[in-house]
Structure 1
Amino acid sequence: MDGPWDMVCDKRYICGTQCGDGSIVQNGIYQSRGMEGENNMGKLSMMVINFMTNQCGWGLQLVDGGNLGRDGSIREQQIKFKATHPLNLIAPHLMIELRQVGYVEINGANTNGIFDKLDGWLKQKWSASQIQADPQYCDVKFSTSSFKSRGSDPAVLVDAHHLQRRLVFRCDDHVQHGEHHVEFRDQGYIEVNGLHDAQDVKSALDDYYIPQGCTHYTQGFLEKEPYCDLKYRTPGNFYYRSGSTNNLGKRTTELAHFMGNRGWKLMLCNGGQRHRALTGLLTGLRANALRATVS
């Protein structure tokens, strides 16, 4: 079907019937329910991943997604694959979705008893409990109260927001080292996780960010526990935002170049926009997540 879509993609499929005004009457493939962001995008993503890797031999590069629309009700997922590799025909994949409302959802095959291993780890680390999973939405589901958040945008009072993160793993039958994760928050912070397996990164980041005016964050009196391994407070001119224009791409590229010169390879760059609503006022908070691992 020819149309304006060919300016933004090479191929398009419609899951349902397209009406004369361009709207789609869906055929039930995409499903969602409730007010907590529950949907079957993780399940559908794993179907595509398994087909492209185990049947077509392509390698999974990244999985990215975000919420669109004025109230964030439209969920969009991007999946990127790279050139073929024989290992992809046999290596299974597993998706783990973390939902801030209190759930961990797992999609994929139970390779080498991974479900039981995750069950033990989630119960030990996050005091999670396995609950009944709807097979149309996920394969295994856990409930936990370990996901926490605090603070708000000083410009508005926030009534609610639901975050989710999807992680995809490939079974390569050998132990991997941990990964270093850096998150830019344009509210004035830089947060770092994964230092338990990369202690040398802390001194390198100090040498990089402190001369730029960044300072180590001091935990407040009401903050009973840290939410990251290392946190910086950025100077006022570190981030720039004017409407939809910002400098997160520039900051991301700068850090990728700095870490690349020290043997760290950029594995995933993931950005998103959260819409927070109160009395009809919407404000968009943008964040970029950069994760690098030793190559």
Structure 2
Amino acid sequence: NLRELDSTTKVPFILIELTGEGDGEGEIEVTGKDEYGVYEALNNFFVHTWGCDPLDPGDETEDTKVPFCSAQYRWPGYSVKGDDGLNNQGLMTMRLIDFMCGNLSWTLAVVNGGNVGENRDVRETQLIFKAPHPMNLVAPHLLVEVRSAGFIEVCADLDEENNAILGSLDGYFADRFKASLIEGHEDFCDRYYEAGEGIFKGSGGSLDSNFGLLCTDVCDVITTHEGWSLVACNTGNYGADGRFSEQQMIFRRDYHPLGDSKYLQVILNALGNIEVNGQHVREIHSKLDGFFRGKWKCERAGHFREGDTLCRRYTWDVSELNMLRATADVVTFFELQGWATLHPNSSQFRTAVAAVAAACLASIACEVLHDTGHCDVRPVGDDVDSSEFRRAALLPGVIRVGRWMWCRQWRVRPAAGNTKSRIAVLINIQEYAHWPRVVDKSWGALCENMQRRSADWEVVTWPDLMERNVDSLVDLLVAKLHGLDDAKVLIYISCHSQMMDNDPQFLPADARGWGDGVSLSWLVRQLDAVRPRNARFYIIVNGCLTNAGRIDRWCRCCRRVQLALQSEELDSARLSTRMLRRRSDPQVWMLFAAAPGGEVAGDEQNGDLLTRKFLEALDSRPGSLEIEEIYNELHTAVWNARRDEGGPLHPYLVITTGRLPPAIPHETSEASQQTCASTSTLQSTAASTAHA
């Protein structure tokens, strides 16, 4: 599966599996691309820090064992104690995350796990990391493990700036779980709590279990703390009869724009039970009730509430169970309701768990898609029935397919009272802590200038251009444009770039692993797909694409994405669901201007060159602001500017639309570039400029 994933993306992935077989007995497997020296770094970490012994993983030759991984280790550091499930798997998982993210800057993508063996006391945890991103060096993680046996574990890699959440969790667990902090478990976790009597009800998978409700409540509470969001979760059952449940939830303080969004958990059980846990957001419980009872012919099996969190139960016919199809049906339902599917997970007992998050942004109700996790289940041992395994397994990537297929224009409710026909979206992704020079020092002045125009312009600031935020930005704009005539939208993006695999990427939001140079093209494609007949878009990108070659490669990268998204198969799927508008003329045009110099123009006093020139154009128009008038003036100012090391900035212009043009020449003469900048170019419906 990882090879297939690697073959379809330039972003490298690596999978690390921790298996705890007994006290002092464990195994570690590593597979994936050996990029950035990660195998050597992991070998040193496992051998010298964890005391592991390297094993022969085998290869594909006939005289060796069948390989299941690229590197394998005997792991003596796994510890287990007692019969209540106490082990250090969570602690070691967090230490591995801390090393991979905090030291090597890889990005945590998926954590999946489960319990196998006769007593389900063999624990497996799979961690998938994707290509390094520098922001991981400063983004802390937090793991909370809840066990229905009555215990809660917390493991964290927090510094003084971020550890305030631990004190808050002390109070929450004491109040909600009647839990007491137990000392002396430092070898197993950072904080160990014992819940009060009667807090956990029922056995794993039973109709009276409140385990899922409690886990959903924990997730909702932690994500209300500033900057924290759910990254991954996994669940399992243990004990001789599987009566106990355990769930790990991993959070990251990445200041995700979803903020304190509420989560809903849906559990599909092969025993014939369905469980829904979460708060009653946007009548979702009522709608889901209609779906289960109408389409699946389920019967209600009761419900109960604890605080604001509701648990509903259903019974369903599993005589001809197709868990893969059932999971896809549930995901489709939530996508159509404007919810985002997050972190599907499975185990032998609890076959599918889908946690779904909804977001309410500003004054409109719209949703932002999270990155979708993958689930990988494989049978272990001779006691696993193959038919049960097939029913329990979830196909990796099935959730992501649904993500591409659903249009979201119709999901957005118009913002109440919005009458302004001029909207400015300001996106500053230059706050790059690891390279202080990459800062737009004129950004504050630009924001102040636009805010002074608030009588005519509605100004929206946006955090970054990661793919999930692009979706929500488009939704936000569609809502604000509803009911307006002859509207104009200015999107000003200040960023930086780097090269990776011969494709330019934007820093920091689009750096390694965050989009591979796709997010900006994704924004254009989404705006083109919206096709609002009542609005024109002007996109100004203040970047650092340092030469014509980079622009060429970036546009070819965009073209590959565009062609992939316009395949006949996908179009047919969209048309079959009546969610694809018929093609018409492109509505979004982008105009790039890039300099051959390698440094950000400007200085500490004057700020970034393009933003400074844009400010000068704004200051000369204190009254009305017409973007069409500014563009040629802005282009000429950049063209005539000179770099400190000598030579003009030489803007390099490219026009591209929703239907991308043929390959762009690597070199363009100054005369032809000036022609591209002529007034006729401005008759397009949107313009974008990038410079170094």
TM-score normalised per structure 2: 0.35
Separation in 1, partners of 2:182, 2:99: 28
Call closer, same or farther: CA 1:92–1:67 in 2, change over 3 Å: same
Separation in 1, partners of 2:290, 2:94: 40
**Contact 1:214 1:232 survives alignment (8 Å):** no
SS in 2 for 1:272: coil
Separation in 2, partners of 1:11, 1:5: 13
**Contact 1:181 1:194 survives alignment (8 Å):** yes
Alignment correspondent of 2:282: 199
Q: 2:353 aligns with which of 268, 289, 294?
A: 289
- Summarize the alignment of residues 158-237 of structure 1 with structure 2, pairs less than 5 Å apart: 161-173=243-255, 175-196=259-280, 198-211=281-294, 212-218=296-302, 229-237=310-318
Q: 2:346 aligns with which of 266, 271, 277?
A: 271
Q: What are the superposed Cα offsets for residues 131-166 of structure 1, whole Å, 9 maximum, x if unpaired?
A: 11421111111110322215988xxxx877332111
Q: What are the superposed Cα offsets for residues 159-215 of structure 1, whole Å, 9 maximum, x if unpaired?
A: 77332111111113463312121111222221111224x233223313322212123
Alignment correspondent of 1:97: 145
Report deviation, 1:60.
Answer: 1.6
Call closer, same or farther: CA 1:10–1:161 in 2, change over 3 Å: same
Q: 1:142 aligns with which of 171, 181, 193?
A: 193
SS in 1 for 2:351: strand
SS in 2 for 1:254: helix
SS in 2 for 1:91: coil
Greater RCO (Cα-Cα under 8 Å, separation 6 or more): 1
**Do structure 1's residue 14 and structure 2's residue 74 form an aligned pair?**
yes
Call closer, same or farther: CA 1:125–1:286 in 2, change over 3 Å: closer
Alignment correspondent of 2:329: 254
Separation in 2, partners of 1:65, 1:160: 15
Whichever residue aligns with residue 337 of structure 2, its letter is: R
**Do structure 1's residue 121 and structure 2's residue 202 form an aligned pair?**
no
Call closer, same or farther: CA 1:68–1:237 in 2, change over 3 Å: closer
Q: What are the superposed Cα offsets for residues 107-133 of structure 1, whole Å, 9 maximum, x if unpaired?
A: 113423121100011111111111114
SS in 1 for 2:139: coil
Separation in 1, partners of 2:341, 2:65: 34
Whichever residue aligns with residue 30 of structure 1, its letter is: Y
Report deviation, 1:253.
Answer: 1.9
Report deviation, 1:249.
Answer: 2.5
SS in 1 for 2:136: helix
Call closer, same or farther: CA 1:250–1:172 in 2, change over 3 Å: same
Call closer, same or farther: CA 1:4–1:265 in 2, change over 3 Å: farther
**Contact 1:54 1:89 survives alignment (8 Å):** yes
Report deviation, 1:61.
Answer: 1.9
Whichever residue aligns with residue 179 of structure 2, its letter is: A
**Contact 1:57 1:84 survives alignment (8 Å):** yes
Call closer, same or farther: CA 1:87–1:268 in 2, change over 3 Å: same
Separation in 2, partners of 1:224, 1:252: 25
Report deviation, 1:83.
Answer: 3.3
Q: What are the superposed Cα offsets for residues 84-119 of structure 1, whole Å, 9 maximum, x if unpaired?
A: 333322110010111111111111134231211000
Q: How many residues align?
A: 258
Separation in 2, partners of 1:231, 1:134: 36
SS in 1 for 2:123: strand
Call closer, same or farther: CA 1:90–1:239 in 2, change over 3 Å: farther
SS in 1 for 2:72: coil
Q: What are the superposed Cα offsets for residues 30-63 of structure 1, whole Å, 9 maximum, x if unpaired?
A: 1112112211100110011111112222222222
**Contact 1:98 1:166 survives alignment (8 Å):** yes
**Contact 1:188 1:239 survives alignment (8 Å):** no
Alignment correspondent of 1:80: 128
Call closer, same or farther: CA 1:151–1:268 in 2, change over 3 Å: closer
User: What root-mean-square deviation, in Å, do the aligned CA atoms of Structure 1 and Structure 2 show?
Assistant: 2.9
Whichever residue aligns with residue 355 of structure 2, its letter is: R
Call closer, same or farther: CA 1:263–1:81 in 2, change over 3 Å: farther
Q: 1:55 aligns with which of 103, 114, 121?
A: 103
Report deviation, 1:286.
Answer: 4.1
SS in 2 for 1:71: coil
SS in 2 for 1:60: strand
Whichever residue aligns with residue 290 of structure 1, its letter is: A
Call closer, same or farther: CA 1:151–1:252 in 2, change over 3 Å: closer
Whichever residue aligns with residue 154 of structure 2, its letter is: I
Alignment correspondent of 2:65: 4
**Contact 2:203 2:243 survives alignment (8 Å):** no
Report deviation, 1:292.
Answer: 1.7
Call closer, same or farther: CA 1:151–1:144 in 2, change over 3 Å: closer
SS in 1 for 2:166: helix
Separation in 2, partners of 1:118, 1:151: 25
SS in 1 for 2:353: strand
Aligned sequence identity (%): 30
Q: What are the superposed Cα offsets for residues 217-271 of structure 1, whole Å, 9 maximum, x if unpaired?
A: 235xxx8979x7242423324762xxxxxx3232112211222233222211111
Call closer, same or farther: CA 1:68–1:159 in 2, change over 3 Å: closer
Whichever residue aligns with residue 123 of structure 1, its letter is: A
Separation in 2, partners of 1:51, 1:96: 18
Alignment correspondent of 2:555: none
Give the structure with the larger helix fraction. Answer: 2
Give the structure with the larger strand fraction. Answer: 1
Call closer, same or farther: CA 1:121–1:225 in 2, change over 3 Å: closer
TM-score normalised per structure 1: 0.77
Unaligned runs of 5+ in 1: 16-26, 241-246, 274-284
Whichever residue aligns with residue 194 of structure 2, its letter is: S
Whichever residue aligns with residue 293 of structure 2, its letter is: I
Whichever residue aligns with residue 107 of structure 2, its letter is: G
Q: Which has the larger radius of gyration?
A: 2
Whichever residue aligns with residue 69 of structure 2, its letter is: C
**Do structure 1's residue 33 and structure 2's residue 81 form an aligned pair?**
yes
Unaligned runs of 5+ in 2: 1-55, 59-63, 207-239, 359-367, 369-692
SS in 2 for 1:136: coil
